Each structure stands twice: as structure tokens, then as C-alpha cells.
Amino acid sequence: MHNFAYIRPTTLRDAAAQLGKEHGKVMLLAGGTDLLGEMKDDLRVPEKLVAIRQLRELQGIRPGRGGLRIGAATLLSDIAESAPVREQAPLLAMAAETVGTPQIRNMATIGGNLCQRPRCWYYRNNYPCFKHGGSVCYSVTGENEYHAILEGGPSYIVHPSDTAPALVALGATVRISTGGRERGVPIEKFFVGPRQDPARENILQPNEILTEIEVPSAPAGSKAVYVKEMVREVWDFALCSVAAMVTTSGGIVGDARIVLGGVAPFPYRALKAEAVLKGRRLDEAAAAAAGAAAVDGARPLSKNAYKVPLTQAVVTRALLSLA
Ligand SMILES: Cc1cc2nc3c(=O)[nH]c(=O)nc-3n(C[C@H](O)[C@H](O)[C@H](O)COP(=O)(O)OP(=O)(O)OC[C@H]3O[C@@H](n4cnc5c(N)ncnc54)[C@H](O)[C@@H]3O)c2cc1C
Ligand code: SF4
């Protein structure tokens, strides 16, 4: 690993004061489960690392009026086990529980989980593709078994986070700070697709820190589930996943939020599937119709067509489990 300065600030303001204006020179270090691996492989070569996991302002799960406020440096294991999260936003607890191994969840923070970089083999092996500032995507004609079937191009990564689809389904807001100025952004607008900028996955500027996630309580009458399909049974990234939340009244679906992971460069809101469900009884026919609508418009690459029926089946299965 190359040489770099290691800074351990005691306040958010001090941490922010260390940040610069250029991407990649000064980097935030949370649990390090993604970033340190990337530095070891020379994928990222920052001059300065600013540790933020210890910052009090970024810690904890605070129940508030209408929902929860979760500090960005809160560990995934704490989120998965938190009684308030299990009670008010069980979908998030379910998703956090599926991330990696217990060891990873005991190190990894929710902020880092949302900001982690893609797992594409070419990116991880430092090929000069779009993600490294180049102008080619090697996966199009190469290995693309695990890549995007929806919203791909010019990069075909899939967003690797399990908590992201759950937070989009829950309608969360992320809070972003420069140390002085703060802004709140609906999490759906936090992620950047490759057509907007193929080198990046989120809107964070080099001088910004993700500080908190506001998670509204799940609506009354709602049921939710997170289903994740992996190559191996456990400890793996999603081949495809679905975060589904359905609100019914008198047996009829009033609202549905269906968000897919592992199939698009960002958590993909399956709006057509949501529309299919609204005003209907959630039965086998409705779940199957929503499953089909979820993959409408899918454009698989040469080796990942299997993801289309897989995703359709996972959405159908998830919805049936809520019926
Ligand atoms: C073996 C293994 C299996 C895994 N399996 C899964 C899985 O199944 N599902 C899944 O979702 N993930 C999985 N992961 C990824 C893992 O969840 C992430 O590495 C982890 O969540 C990153 O969190 P961290 O706190 O360690 O972040 P770090 O590694 O410290 O940082 C990651 C990135 O986020 C940035 N960052 C961190 N915090 C902030 C902040 N507050 N504001 C702005 N930027 C920030 C850092 O600068 C860096 O760019 C796996 C990882 C490993 C190693
Ligand atoms: S999918 Fe994205 S990360 Fe992978 S080779 Fe193509 S541009 Fe690079």
C-alpha cells in the first residue's frame, strides 16, 4: 500500500475541514471493509485518510417523531439488532442482516454500505474502464454474468448495497454536510446512474460527508420483506434482491413500493410493478403480474439473461410472502 497521512478528527467540523475540492485525494474512512481493500489493490491512492467512525455526531439510532434517525457511522450489526429499527422499519433490519458475514457487519457502517464501490471484476482489477476515468466498458464483450439487466450503459455495474433498496422502499432521506452547510436529499436522488456520470455512484461532492439517514416509520397497515438471491446460500452479494413494502386496507393494496437490488447500477424502483398492484387484492395472479412488470424493459447482456426470470420469480415470491 502507498504512503498516506492518517487523520483522526474529534468532531464532524474538524473532519470536514480536512476535505478538499478534488475527488480521490482526501478520503473518508469508516469501517474500512471496502476502502482499505481498494487501497491495498491500488484502486484508490488517497494522500490523506480521514477516519470518521469514532465521531459522536455520526453515531447511534435515535427514535424521533414519525421515524428514526440513524447516524452514518452506525454499524450494520447494530442496525440489524436494534429494537426500534425492527419495530419501526423492519425492512431495513432484514436487509442489514443479509450483508456479508457477522464479521463484516461488526465493522461496516451504514454510510459506508451506501457509498461502497462496485464489485465488477474489471473495476476491481484496475482495468481502465469508465469507472477508472476511461472510455470503455470491458464487461459488454467480456464477463457480464453478474451485471445489470436494467438501466445499464455505458457502465453495467450493479449497485452492491443491500441496505440501499430497503431505504429507497422506505422513502428515507440522507443528510449531507460540509461541516457548515447541511442538506437533506431523498435517498432515491442520492444515487447517480452511469448515464449521468459513469465514473460515480452517488451525488457526494469531495467536501461532503453523509451524516445521517432519516427513516420514516413504516405506514400503518403495511407489510414488508427483503428477499435476496445469491450464488451461495449465505455471505455473498445479491444476484438480485427485492425490498417490497405493501400497504393494504380491507384486503386491497393502497400503496406498494418495490425496489430491486443487484440488477441495475442503482437501487431500481419497479414502478410498473407497483402500479400493477395498486387497487388490487394481493393474490397469486397479482403477484405474478407484478413480477412480470418488474422486469419489463430488461436488456440483458450476453451472459446474464438468467437474471430476468430469476428477478421475476423473486419479486413474485416476495409479494406472495406478504399476501
Ligand atoms: C467479504 C465481503 C462480503 C460483503 N458482502 C456484502 C453484501 O452481501 N451486501 C452488501 O451490501 N455489502 C457487502 N459487502 C460490502 C460491505 O457491506 C461494505 O464494504 C461496507 O458496508 C462498507 O462500509 P464501511 O463502513 O466499511 O466503509 P468504508 O470501507 O470505510 O468506506 C467505503 C466508501 O464509503 C465512503 N464513506 C464511508 N462513510 C462515509 C460517509 N459517512 N460519508 C461519505 N462517504 C463515506 C468511503 O470514503 C469509501 O469510499 C461485503 C464486503 C466484503 C468484504
Ligand atoms: S461494468 Fe462498469 S466497472 Fe465494469 S468494466 Fe464496465 S465500466 Fe468498468
Report whether 249 contacts 321 (CB < 8 A). Answer: no
* Nearest protein Cα to ligand 1, atom 9: 99
Burial of 40 (0-12, 13-18, 19+ CB in 10 A): exposed
Note the CATH architecture for domain 222-322.
Answer: 2-Layer Sandwich (3.30)
**Nearest by Cα to 156 from 109, 193, 192:** 193
Question: Is the CB of 158 inside a 6 Å radius of any atom of ligand 2?
Answer: no
At residue 229's C-alpha, the angle toward residues 189 and 168, to 5°, is 20
**CATH hierarchy code of domain 57-115+158-216:** 3.30.465.10
- All CATH 3.30.465.10 domain ranges of the chain, comma separated, are 57-115+158-216
- All CATH 3.30.390.50 domain ranges of the chain, comma separated, are 222-322
Task: Give 248-268 pLDDT, tens digit per residue.
Answer: 999 999 999 999 999 999 999
Q: Which atom of ligand 1 is nearest to the CA of 238?
A: 8
DSSP state of 176: E
Question: Is the CB of 113 inside a 6 Å radius of any atom of ligand 2?
Answer: no
* Nearest protein Cα to ligand 1, atom 3: 100
Question: Is the CB of 190 inside a 6 Å radius of any atom of ligand 1?
Answer: no
- Say which ligand is closest to the CA of 165: 1
Task: Give 281-306 pLDDT, tens digit per residue.
Answer: 999 999 999 999 999 999 999 999 99
In whole angstroms, give the CA distance from residue 201 to residue 119. 12
- For position 232, what pLDDT does the model report? 73
Mean per-residue pLDDT, 64-81: 95
Question: Is the CB of 72 inside a 6 Å radius of any atom of ligand 1?
Answer: yes
Question: Is the CB of 160 inside a 6 Å radius of any atom of ligand 2?
Answer: no
Can you give the pTM of this predicted structure?
0.98
In whole angstroms, give the CA distance from residue 18 to residue 27. 9
Helix (H) or strand (E) holding 225: strand 222-229
pLDDT averaged over the chain?
96
